[in-house]
Amino acid sequence: MNHFPIFLALSGRDVVLSGGGETALAKLRLLLKTTASITVYAASPSAAVVALADTGRIGLVRRALAPGDIGAARLFYAAEDDEKADARSAAIARREGALVNIVDNLAASDFLTPAIVDRDPVTVAIGTEGAAPVLARSIKADLEARLPAQLGRLARIAATFRSSARALAPGRARRRFWAEVFERAGPAAIEQGGAEAAIGALLDRHTRETAPDLAGHVDLVGAGPGDPELLTLKARRALDGADVVIHDRLVPQEILELARREAVILPVGKQGFGASARQEDINDLIVSHARSGAHVVRLKGGDPTIFGRLDEEISACEAAGVSWSVIPGITAASAAVASIGQSLTQRGRNGSLRLLTGHDIRGFAEHDWRALALPGAVAAIYMGKRSARFIQGRLMMHGAAAQTPVSVVENASLPTQKVRAATIAGLARAVEDTPEGTPAIILLGLGPRAATKALADQIERLG
Ligand code: SAH
């Protein structure tokens, strides 16, 4: 390690910068995040730098840096974009005792400025000693996505509980309290407002609890249509913290691999009409793990609120006194329309949209066929493979035009995605061609957008 990372106290201290152009401005933006007192030396500053000075937030001296200007400043930035001028100012600053950074000149600098993820007071500094700035940026982007935007506020509020949390036994009890503050209760409370009260109540509960085994929690999480990049950041975070992941058949391995290595992964796959884990058994599994103190992630394909039997699982949690929350996901219909370049609603065509199931507890599901048969009607039909012929018949019987466009999208969002363009007249045949066990959704009233060449290439045209 050639450069040692430290966090320097700058509150009320002087920082001097030479230069008044774009490079100087970029550094100034960063320095303005601190509470340092900043002075800029520039013979001809840009309008943006002048505007900053006009706000009073920085001091501006309209000439080049001269001996005696550094004063008590600890840090000096040479940002004149001119090698000779930078070297000259750097020499002055160094002689007068400041640590010097020459922008984009690592070799001639005393320190370098890291890439920063700012969740003040939580700050992450990333340095590669100039070896891989692109890598630093991508690590920064990863962390930006991973750390909640409100983390700083939460940390500040949490800090006010530091001394009262000493009431908890050191070690596991304290760790569990803080983990819950930062991973679960805190982020949720910040979103809803009232984080102080929530953390206070949490501390009370933890203090009162004699057994260190605290109650678990169940997150009912939407895993999206399959592409791991279509997971929400919240879903990812839940997976990061899960002790137990209970998942449906539709959730691909790649997503399960995002869970912690120590997490217990339990498949409870359900398949159309086929044999599968009974819902009661799934409920029992969820509840028993949560009761043993585990953070359970119940991971469901798409969005958990759409044909997901969510309410039964929530009721089971409630009956058992287990806390739960729902994390939405991208539903299959959204991924499917994206694949054909269409909208689910369109001004002048359809002002409403139906999400239908092909079968319900009684078998083939009945719907408002008359409304569905009207020109312009759009519906996304889930689990419609076995009932495609029935749906086709019902629509025709209620006067739907045989040539109404229909798209059948299998494995939406996955590399194996396949789109079949058909019409109501050819619906059953198009669906019959989709392989057994592959999820497919029927988009009634929507054909693939013809203009998209790449799409047209991978689309099979039928009936
Ligand atoms: N909660 C899920 C739906 C569960 S019902 C969601 O919001 O997407 C299961 C049905 O969803 C499947 O039979 C199929 O019709 C549809 N489905 C789920 N994932 C799909 C995908 N990647 N491609 C096409 N259809 C999908």
The model's pLDDT over 160-193, given as tens digits with 9 standing for 90+, comes to 999 999 888 775 577 778 888 887 788 888 878 8
Residues 284 and 301 in one domain: yes
Is residue 52 assigned to a domain? Answer: yes
Identified catalytic residue from 104, 270, 360, 433: 270
pLDDT in the model for residue 273: 44
300 is catalytic: no
Ligand 1 centroid to residue 457 C-alpha, Å: 24
Residues 316 and 223 in one domain: yes
Q: How many domains does the chain have?
A: 4
Q: Is the pLDDT of residue 238 over 50?
A: yes
Residues 202 and 264 in one domain: no
Ligand 1 centroid to residue 352 C-alpha, Å: 20
Domain CATH number, residue 348: 3.30.950.10
pLDDT in the model for residue 272: 47
Nearest CA, atom 2, ligand 1: 302
Residues 237 and 170 in one domain: no
3-state secondary structure 297-349: EEEECECCCCCCCHHHHHHHHHHCCCEEEEECCCCHHHHHHHHHCCCCCECCC
Is residue 170 assigned to a domain? Answer: yes
pLDDT in the model for residue 35: 93
**Residue among 70, 240, 82 nearest 148 (CA):** 240
pTM (2 decimals)? 0.65
Mark which of 268, 295, 330 sits at the end of a domain: 330
Report the DSSP pairing between strands 244-247 and 115-119. unpaired
Residues 71 and 165 in one domain: no
pLDDT in the model for residue 403: 96
Nearest CA, atom 5, ligand 1: 307
Is residue 39 assigned to a domain? Answer: yes
Ligand 1 centroid to residue 272 C-alpha, Å: 11
Is residue 404 assigned to a domain? Answer: yes
Mark which of 298, 330, 362 sits at the end of a domain: 330
Is residue 123 assigned to a domain? Answer: no
Identified catalytic residue from 69, 86, 243, 248: 248
Q: Is the pLDDT of residue 41 over 50?
A: yes
Which residue from 327, 337, 357, 382 has its CB within 8 A of the most atoms of ligand 1, so it is best to mutate? Answer: 382
Contact 368, 359 (CB under 8 A): no
Atom of ligand 1 nearest to the CA of 304: 1
Residues 87 and 200 in one domain: no
Residues 317 and 351 in one domain: no
Nearest CA, atom 4, ligand 1: 307
84 is catalytic: no
Neighbouring-strand partners of residue 408: 420, 442
Give me the domain span that covers residue 28: 14-113
Ligand 1 centroid to residue 382 C-alpha, Å: 6
Is residue 85 assigned to a domain? Answer: yes
Is residue 35 assigned to a domain? Answer: yes
Atom of ligand 1 nearest to the CA of 300: 1
Backbone phi and psi for residue 123, each to the nearest 5 degrees, phi listed first: -130, 130
pLDDT digits (tens, 9 = 90+) for 8-20: 999 999 999 999 9
Is residue 141 assigned to a domain? Answer: no
Mark which of 166, 184, 213 sits at the end of a domain: 213
Residues 290 and 268 in one domain: yes
DSSP 169: P
User: What's the rounded Cα separation, in Å, for the pair 405 and 423?
Assistant: 4
| Ligand 1 pocket, CB under 6 A | 225-226, 250, 300-303, 306-308, 331-332, 335-336, 382-383, 409-413, 439-441
User: What's the rounded Cα separation, in Å, for the pair 212 and 20?
Assistant: 59
